[in-house]
Amino acid sequence: MSARRRVVVTGMGMITPVGRDLPSTWDALMRGRSGVGPIQRFDARSYPVTFAAEVDRPNSADPAEFKLDLARVAVKEALAGSGPLPYDPTRIGVCVGSEAARPPLEAIARQLRHNTVATLAEMRRGAPDAPSRVVAELVGAQGPVSTVSTACTSSSQAVGEGALRVRRGEVDAMIVGGVDVLVDPVMVVGFALLGALSTRNDDPLRASRPFDRSRDGFVLGEGAGFLVLEEAEAALARGATPLVELSGFGCSCNAYRITDSPPDGRGAALAMIDALRDAGLRPEDIGYINAHGTSTPMNDASEARGIHTCFGSHRPAVSSTKSMMGHLVAACGAVEAIVTALAIREGRLPPTINLEQPDPDCDLDHVANTARDAQVRHAMTNAFGFGGSNGTLLLSRWEA
């Protein structure tokens, strides 16, 4: 029986509310700097929630085109790191986690007033698969190109599905990741009506507080993160430097409720256990978990119980970078996978800021408020989505 093909990350790129690229984002996370503030995109003073974690853009920018621009920025940085991919274009694939781009309300009103409809090109630009097509064109990928749209788990599953294609030998390289632009009136009102958003309008910087006793909801964010995945031997043969190994992927479904996580955390536990099994590792091998950690009372407690179910008496370090970047929804899995890869490479774990009184229902080894030095060989990153989808990626230090 032939040895399993190993999948390595050779390039990474991102743009987030705390940084325009990978180095600036990492520096901000290490400093514990929050990207949350009053909404700049539109006048939100009369809204139930008036703050978010935004990426700077002109107020006049079309949301669909801005979303594609974010994807381009992150992909170009990832490709600059990996170097040119010398493979047959039919052996290069793309998989992107993405939701549909939402047109601004004024554009909808203008169409209604003038009895006009969007052109086919405009409609396609806002479709969930638009980023996948743009990335394929940018890279020249002629292999399998697909989109995953499973809410908050979208890009985690996109990265995992891409890794499986490389492992099975279907492709030599995959460009994988996610992008989302959520800060608009419809999303702010919609999530607020669900009771999912923090309402700390008087203190935005302290609003996202995963695992804290006083947490009251998540903070909407936006951004993009992309990784270049390659088969290890092919990457080494072309002179590329493996940054980390993508050693395991697990996914599951809660089969519970659309917006609620099961109190016992069973879906989260199943995804983590599946990732460990896929990587051939034991719970005690894991040194760090970049948690989904949204800062909602229900989600954080459910994830903590899932961690206890999976790890038993072992207590890996845990932090949630959503405390600084907000919730990037379809992009969060890929962005947080990159953060986890950097934690392994740099020997430093990013903190959960605003964690002042840990909730007893979230009894974990928290990396609270300041970064922690730690040499980690294997680490996990979790993503759990509305609708009950769960995804866990397991990353390992590259060892030839």
CA distance 310 to 279: 15
Question: What angle separates helix 154-167 from helix 332-346, to the nearest 10 degrees?
Answer: 70
* Burial bucket for residue 84 (CB in 10 Å: 0-12, 13-18, 19+): exposed
Interatomic CA distance for residues 212 and 48, integer angstroms: 22
Token pair for 123: 């409609």
300-304-310 Cα angle (round to 5): 145
292 classed as catalytic: yes
CB atoms within 10 A of CB 89: 12
Say which of 95, 251, 310, 327 is annotated catalytic: 327
In angstroms, the CA 15 to CA 333 distance is 14
- 240 closest CA partner among 5, 4, 8: 8
Q: Which residue has tokens 């669909």?
A: 64
The span from the CA of 294 to the CA of 301, in Å, is 10
Q: Indicate which residue of 152, 251, 310, 362 is catalytic.
A: 152
Strand 348-349 relative to strand 317-319: parallel, antiparallel, unpaired?
Answer: unpaired
C-alpha separations of 309 from 26, 213, 333, 350, 366 in Å? 31, 21, 22, 24, 17
- Helical segments of 114-211, H only: 120-125, 130-139, 154-167, 185-193
Phi, psi of 358 (to 5 degrees): -55, 135
Q: Which of 95, 251, 292, 332 is catalytic?
A: 292
3-state DSSP call for residue 248?
strand
User: 3-state DSSP helix/strand/coil percent for the chain, to nearest 5?
Assistant: 40, 25, 40
Active site residue 327: yes
Half-sphere exposure of 168 (CA within 13 A, CB side): 8
Q: Which residues are catalytic?
A: 152, 292, 327
